[in-house]
Chain A
Amino acid sequence: MAEYSQTNRSDRRFRSLLESLNAGVVIHDANTQIVEFNSKALEILGLTKEQITGKTAFDPHWHFIDENHQILSVDEYPVNRVLETGKRLPATLFGICTENCTSVTWVSVSGSPIKNPDGAVEEILISFIDITKRIETQKNLRESEERFRMIFESLPKLSVQGYNKDREVIYWNKASEEIYGYSKEQALGRKLEELIIPDNLKEDVIRDVSNWMDHGLKIPSSELELKRADGTPLPVFSNHIMLETPEGERELYCIDIDLTNLKLTEEKLRENEERYRSIIAVSNTGAWEYNLENEYLWTSPEYFTMLGYSPDDFNYDFETGISVWQQLMHPEDRDSASRRFLDYLSGEMKDPYENYFRMVHRDGSTRWIWSRGQNLKNPDGSPTKIVLGTHIDITKSKNAEEELKQREAYLSSLLKTIPDLTFVLSRDGTYLDYHADESNLLLSPQQFLGKKVSDVMPQEIANLQMEAIEQAISGRKLVEFRYSIPEEDEIHHYNVRVVAFGLERVIAMITDITDSVRNLNQIKELLKKEEEQNLRLVNFTHIVSHNLRTHTANMLGLISLTEMETPEVFEHEYLRLIKESSSHLEETISHLNQVLDINLEMGENMTEIRLKPVLDAIIQNLALQAKRSGVTIRNEIPDDLHVRAVPAYLDSILLNMLTNAIKFRSDQRDSYVRIYQKITGSEVVLSFEDNGLGIDLDRHGSKLFGMYKTFHGKKDSKGLGLFISRYQVEAMGGRIEVSSKPGVGTTFHIYLPL
Chain B
Amino acid sequence: MSSRFIGERLARVDAPDRVTGRAVYAADISLSGMLHGRVLRSPHAHAYIKKIDATRALALEGVKAVVTAADFPALKKGGVIARGEVELNLDHIRQVALAHGKVLYHGHAVAAVAATDPHIAEDALELIEVEYEPLLAVLDPEEAMKEDAPLVHPEQRTRTRDGTLDRPSNIAATYNVSRGDVEEGFQVADVVVEHTFRTRTVHQGYLEPMAAVARADPGGRITVWASTQGNFSLRSQLASVLELNSSQVKVVPVEIGGGFGGKLNSVLELPAVLLARRTGRPVKLVMSREEVLRATYPAPATAITVKAGATADGRLTAVKMRAVFDAGAFPIAPVVAAYLTSLAPYKIPHICLEGYEVVTNHPKIGALRAPGAPQGAFAVEGQMDLLAEKLDIDSLELRRRNATQEGEPMPVGRAFNRIGLQPLLERVAAHPSWTTPLKGPHRGRGLAVAFWPGAVMPSSCNLTLQDDGSFSLVVGSVDLTGTRTTMLQVAAQELGVHPSKISVSVGDTDSVGHTEVSGGSRITYTMSNAVNQACTRMLGLLRERAAAELEVDPQELEYDTGIFSSRVSQDKRLTLTDLGRQSLRRGGPVTATGAVARMQPAPAFSAHVVDVEVDMETGQVKLLNYTAFQDVGRAVNPTQVEGQIQGGAVQGIGWALMEGYQFSESGVLQNANLLDYKTPTATDVPFIDTVILEIPASDGPYGIRGVGETPIIPPLPALANAIHNATGVRIRELPMNPEALFHAMQGRGG
A and B are interacting partners: no
Interface residues of B (CB under 8 A from A): none
